[in-house]
């Protein structure tokens, strides 16, 4: 349960898609070559094509979710080399640019197993099963995920906004239903699959620029629901596979934006510090 919780802490927040230290098995799951990547030709040196690619990025940015607060109930399913693991429910509360609160409930035990509080500077984890509290700097998540991560990027991952979209466009292709757009930054190559109908992100395939790292991840977004002026992806998948395959799926059963929220968090006196 502890190893699963460590993975879930990152996975539920969509940050443990690269070489999570919480389990050695996941380290071996980072794929050096992903045969599922859709090959896209280099961007032609044609002004019209480049303009279309730039416009697609602008349209994708227009679909970004802007919010003050966010809350959700998420059903988390997890499967690895051992098979499917027990499902958990994660309750998330987020105040933009300030605090992220997560309560993880073990459905097979019908109790709250962990409570997590994340700010720009610190992370506090209450292990309610073993009555232990852990204190970490924010870079604990970076150490787990092996990627540079800010609170801003973390909250974009939670609400379903695109992440690690590079400024340089390296490929562009249109099909009947999709636009395939490749970007590159100082960290990742990002192959984006975007719906041609509404410019909504369907898939983000990230590959590390540093070939020595070989970090790769596949993020899928689906089942969009309209909320006010934007669309929210109520289903997400994270897949990492090679010799060992790891799948995490997130089903958002409930979600709300811009309501008043509280972030209850206290450490019982009888808890030990880890």
Which of 2-6, 252-256, 270-274 has the lowest average pLDDT? 2-6
- Taking the C-alpha atoms of residue 22 and residue 85, their distance in angstroms, rounded to an integer, is 16
Task: Go through the domains of the chain in sequence order and give each one's CATH number.
Answer: 2-30+38-253 (2.50.20.10)
* Model confidence band, residue 110 (pLDDT cutoffs 50, 70, 90): confident
Beta strands in 144-273 (DSSP E): 168-174, 178-184, 188-195, 201-208, 216-227, 230-241, 245-257, 272-273
Task: Give 65-104 pLDDT, tens digit per residue.
Answer: 999 999 999 998 887 777 777 788 999 999 999 999 999 8
Q: What is the pLDDT of residue 80?
A: 74
> CA 70 to CA 54: how far, in whole Å?
30
**What token pair was written down for 33?**
């070559």
């Amino acid at each position: 349960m502890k190893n699963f919780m460590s993975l879930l802490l990152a996975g539920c927040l969509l940050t443990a898609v690269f070489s999570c230290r919480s389990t050695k098995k996941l380290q071996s799951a980072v794929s050096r070559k992903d045969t599922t990547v859709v090959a896209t030709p280099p961007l032609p040196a044609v002004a019209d094509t480049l303009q279309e690619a730039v416009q697609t990025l602008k349209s994708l940015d227009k679909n970004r979710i802007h919010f003050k607060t966010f809350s959700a109930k998420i059903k988390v399913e997890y499967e690895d080399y051992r098979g499917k693991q027990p499902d958990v429910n994660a309750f998330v509360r987020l105040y933009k640019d300030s605090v992220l609160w997560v309560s993880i409930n073990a459905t097979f035990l019908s109790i709250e197993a962990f409570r997590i509080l994340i700010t720009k500077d610190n992370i506090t984890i209450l292990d309610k099963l073993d009555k232990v509290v852990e204190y970490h700097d924010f870079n604990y998540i970076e150490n787990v995920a092996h990627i540079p991560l800010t609170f801003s990027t973390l909250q974009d991952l939670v609400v379903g906004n695109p992440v690690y979209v590079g400024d340089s466009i390296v490929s562009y292709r249109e099909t009947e239903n999709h636009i395939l757009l490749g970007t590159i930054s100082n960290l990742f190559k990002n192959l984006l699959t975007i719906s041609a109908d509404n410019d909504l992100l369907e898939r983000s395939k990230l590959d590390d620029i540093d070939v020595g790292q070989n970090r790769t991840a596949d993020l899928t977004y689906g089942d969009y629901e309209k909320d006010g002026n934007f669309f929210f992806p109520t289903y997400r998948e994270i897949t990492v596979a090679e010799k060992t395959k790891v799948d995490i799926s997130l089903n958002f059963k409930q979600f709300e934006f811009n309501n008043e929220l509280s972030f209850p968090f206290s450490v019982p006196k009888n808890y030990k510090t880890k």
